[in-house]
Structure 1
Amino acid sequence: MSILRTTSASDLPAGARRRIEFASRSQPKPFQTTAERALARAAPNEPDIEEVQEEFAWTFPEADEKAASGTPWNKGRSVGAKLALKPKHVWSLRFHLQNEGMVRDLAMFDLAIDTKLRGCDLVKLRIGDIVADGEPKRRATVVQQKTGKPVTFELTEQTRDSLVGWLNVRSGCLEDFIFPSNQNPEAHIGTRQNARLVKQWVEAIGLNPALYGTHSMRRTKVALIYKTTGNLRAVQILLGHSKLESTVRYLGVDIDDALSLSEAADL
């Protein structure tokens, strides 16, 4: 009489168990939404879902809804990396915010340009991060949420002046957030509200808000530095990237950039 024996996972060799576990993790579940699949794939050092949505200008619920209706989720939308602002755009935005008396927005805009931080890090800045002995620091260091690594940035005179103007209105102690939420003064402004403000700013000076976002603020200064110097290593340090390849992809460096730098080196 034969006896059927059921083999459990614990009876298999270690190598076989690892292959089975990897295969089960790799298979997407049919009932998962786009957001659930993205969260399942996300590693601890990858950007959070809100940051991905804000950077590429689409939302998971909208994508799922359009997919169900048979309509491409990106139809009629501008997707992809956001453009950096040009110097003339920065000057126009500053003039607009100053002329409208938008003290908080001017400080937020100047701080975003100088710090080159992601939106999730910018909104969480506390007064004590950039103020010492009652004055804004010339240089400051914060730990990035995405990588857990510190990044140092400079604060220009323009930014220090706009910060002083805002903090005189905002008041508060060193432990308070620089930009508090309107609903809860003890919390910071949200990343989505920050993104909405950026779109309002660029629209006010005649730019297409679909082409710009909070990452435009992050890219603006480093794009100018790269264009002026061609120093990728300096840009990598300023952005807080651990790999140079990430900086190359972030700036969109291509063969034309390399050739332009080569042509400028006249021997």
Structure 2
Amino acid sequence: MEMLWNGLEQMLDSMWHAIPKIILGLVILGVGSYLVKLVLKVIRRRLEKRDVELSLRGFLLSVVKATLYIILLIVVAATMGFQVAGIATIFASAGLAIGLALQGSLSNFAGGVLVLLFKPFKVGDYISNPSGTEGTVERIDLLYTTLTGPTGLKIFSPNGPLANSVITNYSEITSRRHDFVVGIGYNENIKEAQNVIFAALAKHKAVLQSPEPIVFVSNLGDSSVDLNVRTWIGKADYWNTVFEIQQIIKVALDEANIEIPFPQRDLHIVSDKTK
């Protein structure tokens, strides 16, 4: 009986000594919760001021909130006298295991954060990269970017490789240059052919005159003198104009009776006559 009483007395004594730590821990919990909300409010305003994407904004706030509360709970537990070293070790081990298991997804996630934060492109932009990804950006998520290709197909590109590659953003320009080759016969007058092409280009409203179109000899081929036609076109009219100007140049050269030759081979027959 006496041993039971001594044990109860020691337990009550330990609880009595722990009361100040418990009170202090609760105070820290209350003050810490207020500070966490204040920090989140400041971060939210900063993200709104920088016009960060809504999907990234919500995610970052969630991550910061979870991190701050975990730190707060660890501090409170340590203040109350709990052993937090073991808990921290468990969290670290679990985080390492999850990181190794989701290595590829984490790479895509990091790429998505970079894309949403630095905005090399946005929804509605037409982009391409060396890996062959090309299309209009329809949606930017944290793991994948959805594009609509030139043929209307949906393309889902992982953000990791996309963020680490060279991205060409065609929507960030006001005009695009288009080059194509027109061959004329060796018997034709090069200067006349150039003037005919310039006149045809000047009639098309979408072909910009500043910078001016350029037509120059780019190659002396087997069957033709190749003229490189270089024009600048407004991005909104680019695709339609690319095909139209080739047609109007062909018509203009035909009307001027300037030959556009096709590949041909001259055959010489040597006859060995015997007497």
User: Do the structures match in fold with TM over 0.5?
Assistant: no
TM-score (structure 2 length as normaliser): 0.23
**Structure showing the higher strand proportion among its residues:** 2
Of structures 1 and 2, the larger Rg is shown by 2
Tell me which of the two structures has the higher relative contact order, counting C-alpha pairs closer than 8 angstroms and 6 or more residues apart: 1
Structure-1-length-normalised TM-score = 0.24
